[in-house]
Amino acid sequence: MKNKDILTYTFEEYITMIEHFHGSVAPGILIGGFMVDLACRNIPKNTMYNVICETTKCLPDAVQLLTQCTIGNQRLKIINVGRYALTFYEKDTGWGIRIYLDYKKTEPWSEIKNWYLKVKPKHMQNKQLLLSQIKEAGTNLLGIKKVDVNIKLLGQKHNGRIVICPFCDEAYRVTNGTAVCPACREEILPYVLKTIKTAKTVL
Ligand SMILES: [Zn+2]
């Protein structure tokens, strides 16, 4: 059925894309596909848009699979407030729309509700039923609102100077004017470095 398709893909084609990209068919990315599809049908053609995603979990991958907005090109920004929502906005004016997964609309689909609100633990959920309900529900699970994005708050891309950190002796991008890289200054990286004898050494 045409209205169940995700952009130019069938539901089944999209499942294959998810398997290759994400490693497993996560329900959230499937629903995310319908969210992207609904967004793209509600923004004017040829609009240069960026995306804000309100969760780190699964949903960013739907955006990266289906649009040219990625974390790497900074057109996808994740502001993690834990809500299942995407905002597509015109990058120069801030005009946009926000699409969200509306828990009230999951009522007719028991397994989607179980999954979304974690009514049942994961091992008790029926994945096949969940996927078939997601296909059946399509965009009917979603809410949509117009938004005005304050693009000044989002800031511009910062292409700061590159300097060498005196502690780690690696090049890094200066963002706040200090002379030591953030990794050395704050010890935020969760690993301990160990020396490998040659570049060809296999661990
Ligand atoms: Zn350093």
CATH of residue 111's domain is 3.30.1330.130
Say whether both 121 and 169 belong to one domain: no
Distance 120 CA to ligand 1 centre (A): 46
Distance 196 CA to ligand 1 centre (A): 19
pLDDT per residue rounded down to tens, the chain (203 residues):
455 589 999 999 999 999 999 999 999 999 999 999 999 999 998 889 999 999 999 999 999 999 999 999 999 999 999 999 999 999 999 999 999 999 999 999 999 999 999 988 888 889 999 999 999 999 999 999 999 999 988 876 566 789 999 999 999 988 767 789 989 988 889 998 888 776 666 65
Count Cβ atoms below 10 Å from residue 182 Cβ, excluding itself.
Answer: 16
Say how many domains are in the chain: 2
Q: Of 153, 158, 113, give the one whose Cα is nearest residue 133.
A: 113
Residue 167's domain comprises 158-203
Same domain, 112 and 74: yes
Considering the domain architecture, whether residues 47 and 146 belong to the same structural domain is answered as yes
On whether both 202 and 121 belong to a single domain, the answer is no
Q: State whether 58 and 150 are in the same domain.
A: yes
Identify whether residues 89 and 12 lie together within a single domain.
Answer: yes
CA angle 156-162-167, nearest 5°?
A: 125
Instruction: Output the CA 145–ligand 1 centroid distance in Å.
Output: 44
Residue 189 CA, ligand 1 centroid: distance in Å = 11
The verdict on 144 and 171 lying in the same domain is no
For residue 140, the one-letter residue type is N
Between CA 5 and CA 38 the distance in angstroms is 10
Please report, in angstroms and rounded to a whole number, the separation of the first and last CA atoms in the chain: 51
Tell how far the Cα of 162 is from the centroid of ligand 1, in angstroms: 12
